[in-house]
Structure 1
Amino acid sequence: MHSSKLTISLLLLLLHNFIIFSNLSTIQAAPQKLFREYIGAENNNVKFSDVPINPTVDFHFILSFAIDYTNTSTPHPTNGDFRVYWDSNNLNPSQVSAIKAKHSNVKVSMSLAGDTINNKSVYFNPTSINTWVANAINSITQILKNYNLDGIDIDYEHFSSNPDTFAECIGKLLFYLKQNQIVSFTSIAPYEDDSIQPYYLALWRKYGHLIDYVNFQFYAYAKGTTVSQFLEYFDEQSSNYYGGNILVSFGTDGSGGLKPKNGFFKACSILSKQGKLHGIFIWSADDSKKANFKYEKQSQDFLASQ
């Protein structure tokens, strides 16, 4: 008799937990209204205030870039001593404070490295893990505090080290920044290339729990990408970065991938219905200026409607 009652109680408990977890799954699958945009890399005199901001979405500006290279006419690596290379005339600490004060839904982060400096590739080139991490923590913390920034993005695209060294350096940096509450969110910006992915996948395997968003550069795929191809690419990268918030993206420059005019928002709608849309980001505000930021407005309007 007691065992019978115990069985019924266990079944009721399991049913209760199933209902709770089912509801949690539904909540977690809901599309996130997150819009992110890189800004300041091309010195096109773009200001935060130039970009339209929908008050009903979460909006992240990503300052591009802080680079661990010297500020000389022929820059070279500094082993983790980062300096500001974005357009600091138009995107300075007072302007960061002003845009955040005006829009409560806006946060501002910074991205590390990028592709080139003075038309030469920016390399991840540490002397050792410990010295790079120590220098990076010191220099990056100073920039984050000086600019009152909320997060950090990792966008190294060239490497003079192995994937494990990259994973350890970046992982230890992210751990310190999060552990000490210097940043509230982090992201990485990989793309599909055999010289890129092994580094980010090594980082993800060991330190993925510290990474909030994967700003996957879908615009690095070939021009003329179709909706069906885009969805295949998304599923592939969701598998690579399993459990991550993979953001969809397009470029407003001359890059490839799936463009808005060719069905980008159709693909977003499909992902949204599947509970897979974690947000949209654009490269970049500097390039969007010439079209008066129409795709920034369209992207945010789409997110707001979901």
Structure 2
Amino acid sequence: MEFSVFFITLLILQAIFSFQASIQAVPANSNLFREYIGAEFNNVRFTDVPINSNVEFHFILSFAIDYDTSDSPSPTNGKFNIFWDTDNLSPSQVSSIKNQRSNVKVALSLGGDSVANGHAYFNPSSVKSWVSNAVSSLTRIIKQYNLDGIDIDYEHFQADPDTFAECIGQLITTLKRNGVISFASIAPFDDDQVQSHYLALWRKYGHQIDYVNFQFYAYDQGTSVSQFMSYFKTQSSKYNGGKVLVSFISDGSGGLSPSDGFFTACSELKRQNELHGIFVWSADDSKAGGFRYEKQSQALLAIRH
């Protein structure tokens, strides 16, 4: 009898500890703000973008692509080259903004939508060679630019989800293990092919992924606050346990606009302790408007309550 009571008590304690651990694992509010920069060659510089000293700020250079740099780019199996505005976003400018602002980190994003007027496809010939080449080429770029992390933004695929998961998962794992990067993010959106690839990656390597930059602006233009909240709940469930960041697009071409309720949704998520951060596509487009919504986003994130 005493043994039975002891065993039952032990089971209860284990259940309590397990429940507490699951609570602790759920992401909470964050003051993280992230912004893509450099893809559209609008002469935007790091110093153009307002930076609130009370947020954690990530610039994401866009893009590094595993294509060659000839007039007719072709896949080079993990050998990455720089396709962002290097005249305005150089290694010295990265070092300068990080020295000026202790709350700033800089990452690079891989892939993107297009290259040389065509789609940028993920199409490795083999996992082993792609990972080896990617680790080598990206380590060189990351060290040259004094970067802190990587973002995965492939949007077009000629490889199956398992190949994508292994290539990207092994890349992130190796770069972290080698001390080359301190964080990694992914940037999926609600498309069946895209989600099949990113969810395969998440299921196997989600523990290596620090942020989910979900492209909520890929939903229809004119998205309502209630629709946005529903989308957020759905994607948070799919990327279970992940820090799913909310987002808007500067040109207002999709999703829930900052002028149409985006900050209402953010405030509600913050009230629910689910505002894990905000990211923007992109500084290149925001420059013309004076970064009004970047300022508003960071002010909201900086409020501590």
- TM-score in terms of structure 2 length: 0.93
Would the aligned equivalents of 2:26 and 2:241 in 1 still touch at CA under 8 Å? no
1:177-210 CA distance string (max 9 Å, x none)? 1111110000000000012110000000000000
Shift of 1:30: 3.9
Would the aligned equivalents of 2:27 and 2:241 in 1 still touch at CA under 8 Å? no
In the alignment, the residues of structure 1 paired with residue 25 and residue 192 of structure 2 have an alpha-carbon distance, to the nearest angstrom, of 35
**How many percent of aligned residue pairs carry the same amino acid?**
61
**Counterpart position of 1:149:** 147
1:74-85 to structure 2, matched below 5 A, reads: 74-85=72-83
Shift of 1:115: 0.2
1:241-256 to structure 2, matched below 5 A, reads: 241-256=239-254
In the alignment, the residues of structure 2 paired with residue 260 and residue 162 of structure 1 have an alpha-carbon distance, to the nearest angstrom, of 36
**Counterpart position of 1:134:** 132
Residues 166, 24 of structure 1: alpha-carbon distance in 2 compared, 3 angstrom cutoff: closer
In the alignment, the residues of structure 1 paired with residue 21 and residue 53 of structure 2 have an alpha-carbon distance, to the nearest angstrom, of 27
Shift of 1:28: 5.8
In the alignment, the residues of structure 2 paired with residue 85 and residue 187 of structure 1 have an alpha-carbon distance, to the nearest angstrom, of 19
**Counterpart position of 2:271:** 273
1:147-180 CA distance string (max 9 Å, x none)? 0000000000001110000001001101101111
Match of 1:228 among 226, 229, 233: 226
Gapped runs of 5+ residues in structure 1? none
SS in 2 for 1:195: helix
1:30-62 CA distance string (max 9 Å, x none)? 410000000000000000000000000000000
Match of 2:62 among 64, 85, 89: 64
**Counterpart position of 1:36:** 34
1:235-256 CA distance string (max 9 Å, x none)? 1101111110000000002421
In the alignment, the residues of structure 2 paired with residue 24 and residue 215 of structure 1 have an alpha-carbon distance, to the nearest angstrom, of 23
In the alignment, the residues of structure 1 paired with residue 22 and residue 163 of structure 2 have an alpha-carbon distance, to the nearest angstrom, of 37
Match of 1:238 among 232, 236, 239: 236
Would the aligned equivalents of 2:221 and 2:252 in 1 still touch at CA under 8 Å? no
1:119-198 to structure 2, matched below 5 A, reads: 119-198=117-196
In the alignment, the residues of structure 1 paired with residue 158 and residue 259 of structure 2 have an alpha-carbon distance, to the nearest angstrom, of 38
Greater mean deviation of Cα atoms: 89-98 or 18-27: 18-27
**Counterpart position of 2:104:** 106
In the alignment, the residues of structure 2 paired with residue 181 and residue 284 of structure 1 have an alpha-carbon distance, to the nearest angstrom, of 28
In the alignment, the residues of structure 2 paired with residue 119 and residue 271 of structure 1 have an alpha-carbon distance, to the nearest angstrom, of 38
The residue identity in structure 1 corresponding to 2:198 is: Y
Greater mean deviation of Cα atoms: 71-80 or 182-191: 71-80
Tell me the matched-pair count.
302
**Counterpart position of 2:205:** 207
Residues 73, 56 of structure 1: alpha-carbon distance in 2 compared, 3 angstrom cutoff: same
The residue identity in structure 2 corresponding to 1:69 is: Y
SS in 1 for 2:64: strand
Shift of 1:214: 0.2
